[in-house]
Amino acid sequence: MTEPRTLTGHALIASYVKTLDQSPGVYRMLDDEARVLYVGKARDLRARVSNYTRLSGHTARIARMISETRSMMFLTTRTETEALLLEQNLIKQLKPVYNVLLRDDKSFPNILIAKNHAYPQIRKHRGKRGTKGSYFGPFASSGAVNRTLNQLQKVFLLRSCTDTTYQNRTRPCLLYQIKRCAAPCVGLITPEDYGALVADAERFLSGKTSHVQAELAAQMQDASEAMEYERAAALRDRIKALTTVQQQQGINPRGVEEADVIALHLEKGQACVQVFFIRSHQSWGNRDFYPRTGSGAEEGEILEAFLAQFYDSKPPPRQILLSHPVENEDLVRELLSARAGRNVDLRVPRRGEKAELVENAHRNARESLGRRMSESAAQSRLLSGMAEAFDLEDAPRRVEVYDNSHIQGAHAIGAMIVAGPEGFMKNQYRKFTIKGEAGAQGDDFGMMREVLTRRFERLLKEDPARQTEAWPDLLLIDGGVGQVSAVAEVLRDLGVDDVPFIGVAKGVDRDLGREEFHRHGQPPFALRHNDPVLYFVQRLRDEAHRFAIGTHRAARAKASTRTPLDEIPGVGAARKRALLAHFGSAKAVTRAGLPDLRAVPGISEAMARAIHDFFNATG
């Protein structure tokens, strides 16, 4: 349907209401450039959209949104739960300015005791639970998992080495020497005794800590009475390590076995959500999130959007304790229960231990937001100073910084880092493996040309209407006139004429602090030596250089581990490991006969012949 261009705002929305029925579904509000302003869901599309036709009674946020609306789109669904799912998918994809958006939704690490081996391995695990075994978590960060694993190895002596390393051991490793492994690889512990250690570790991670501590204390007492003082001392150290793990876990609630404690603090249009993970009566840490509030959403709407997006890729716990009531609680509970495959309880506790847990999380959210707002204010001042120094119309909200790294053309890569009002946006960093001749020739100008071409061709393909925040407000290029000319050529050829770019080059004496700034077709200029903007640009350039160098080193390291096996079609990581474990080296594989290749576990008759033919092909 197309509406008369004279209709806007309330009148436009009223014209759509006449065409709607009472089905559940999703609606989109668009501006005059067809950019999506807002995505909403409804039990009853006609009733929900009719609310926007009222001339008064709206919040300032909703009133602005209505006034900017120039068209709408609708999709009906069978149920409101389907509408909620579709709404959240569209929000993630389109990032409308008036919607609440969770911008940092990384997966959380777990501890895995893998059961696909006679002697189970304990390790950190992230992602899908595809390995047979016992999973414990989530933990708030990799650091929290690593610290806990370090102490658990002292207590339970479980192996952490890979199966390949385990199979190739002929004597105990260093972890056995420092009493962090029972050395099952060389038979220094029986399967039964090792199984008992595994069972103790699982009991402890399941919250049955008192049983494990009592058993270790009894063993230490028996060893002491038998005058086995070295064994008693080892058990004492294990008990001490167990106590350290409990102390690191912080709050250990007696009345809460499994829950996520989620508290929101909202101040001056900015929000912080603090999440504490409680599993088996133990706290596995916390993490803070800073969702975009959709230009002024309130607590209930923010928490509804947060819960739907946060648990999109992770299983919800049995109970979620909240600081504020959530909008459409029945719908959110139904959605989370469907994802968990069991009932999920949502509640806002008012008294007792659960209320104390929520208050603690809320205090952390308030303090975290205060620190972030202070840092953001300083960052905003620097971005405003950058706009003034570089004659920009507005303070940039997305600054992209580019650098290249290579050694005489080898392993050439391009790197892009991103910064904005909240600092470095590391989830937006990108690396570019140089594919053209410029890399092999060590042509810095050509490499910059390739990187910018690939970056902006993709932007134009994925977001030609510039509806998302992916478009930069300023490009900083590590280099002088040549690099700036290469960027100007790329942007001109692609028809991008409204993205400013600046080259940052060291001065004639190449001293830090005497950088020259280059704009296309203009003479270079410099900032005063103590200008905060100069220091800010140096930080940005140094971060780009650090990221480029790190990426380049990773590429070199990966190349150094490549073998002829990597070139064989059909030989992936698993078959490569099997071949190396069986023959000891890639060189031995190249010399192996067909019967020997057939004997390798996981190598079929056809694959053995393919490997043999690869190394023994005749012209």
pLDDT of 40 reads 95
What whole-number distance in Å separates Cα of residue 615 and Cα of residue 592? 9
For residue 558, pLDDT beyond 70: no
Pairing of strands 258-267, 270-279: antiparallel
Asked whether the bond before 138 is cis by omega within 30 degrees of 0, the reply is yes
Domains of the chain as residue ranges with CATH: 9-98 (3.40.1440.10), 110-248 (no CATH), 258-370 (3.30.420.340), 399-553 (3.30.420.340), 564-615 (1.10.150.20)
Span 40-44, average pLDDT:
94
Collapse the DSSP code of 184 into the 3-class scheme (helix H, G, I; strand E, B; otherwise coil) and give the result: helix
For the stretch 151-165, pLDDT in tens is 788 888 899 998 888
Cα→Cα distances 619→172, 202, 613, Å: 48, 59, 12
By CB atoms closer than 10 A (0-12, 13-18, 19+), residue 84 is: buried
pLDDT tier for residue 561 given thresholds of 50, 70 and 90: low
| Residue whose token pair is 């339970």 | 156
Please state, as a whole number, how many other Cβ atoms lie within 10 Å of the Cβ of residue 246.
14
For residue 320, pLDDT beyond 70: yes
| Residues facing 136 on adjacent strands | 111
- Between residues 214 and 571, which one has the greater pLDDT? 571
Q: Which amino acid is at 616?
A: N
Q: What percent of the chain has pLDDT over 90?
A: 44
Contacts of 264 (CB under 8 A, 6+ apart): 271, 272, 273, 274, 299, 302, 303, 306, 323, 324, 362, 365
pLDDT of 4 reads 44
Span 410-438, average pLDDT:
85
Lowest mean per-residue pLDDT among 40-54, 261-275, 399-413, 493-507? 399-413
pLDDT tier for residue 300 given thresholds of 50, 70 and 90: very high
Alpha-carbon 126 to chain mean position: 11
What whole-number distance in Å separates Cα of residue 589 and Cα of residue 610? 12
pLDDT of 17 reads 93
Q: What is the mean pLDDT of the chain?
A: 86
Span 379-405, average pLDDT:
92
| Residue whose token pair is 């308030």 | 366
| Residues facing 126 on adjacent strands | none
pLDDT tier for residue 581 given thresholds of 50, 70 and 90: confident
For the stretch 524-547, pLDDT in tens is 898 888 889 998 999 999 899 888
pLDDT of 513 reads 59
Q: Which amino acid is at 522?
A: Q
pLDDT of 91 reads 93
pLDDT of 1 reads 42
Q: What percent of the chain has pLDDT over 70?
A: 90
Lowest mean per-residue pLDDT among 107-116, 195-204, 510-519? 510-519
pLDDT of 3 reads 46
For residue 442, pLDDT beyond 90: no
For residue 409, pLDDT beyond 60: no
Cβ atoms of 150 and 244 closer than 8 Å: no
pLDDT of 298 reads 92
Span 56-79, average pLDDT:
93
For the stretch 172-219, pLDDT in tens is 989 998 888 999 999 999 999 899 889 888 887 877 666 666 777 777
Angle at the Cα of 285 from the Cα atoms of 281 and 290, rounded to 5 degrees: 130
pLDDT tier for residue 28 given thresholds of 50, 70 and 90: very high
For the stretch 238-256, pLDDT in tens is 777 666 655 555 556 778 8
For residue 229, pLDDT beyond 80: no
Cβ atoms of 291 and 283 closer than 8 Å: no
pLDDT tier for residue 272 given thresholds of 50, 70 and 90: very high
pLDDT of 553 reads 76
Cβ atoms of 45 and 20 closer than 8 Å: yes
Span 577-601, average pLDDT:
83
Crossing angle for the helix pair 209-225 and 191-205, to the nearest 10 degrees: 140
- Between residues 424 and 444, which one has the greater pLDDT? 424
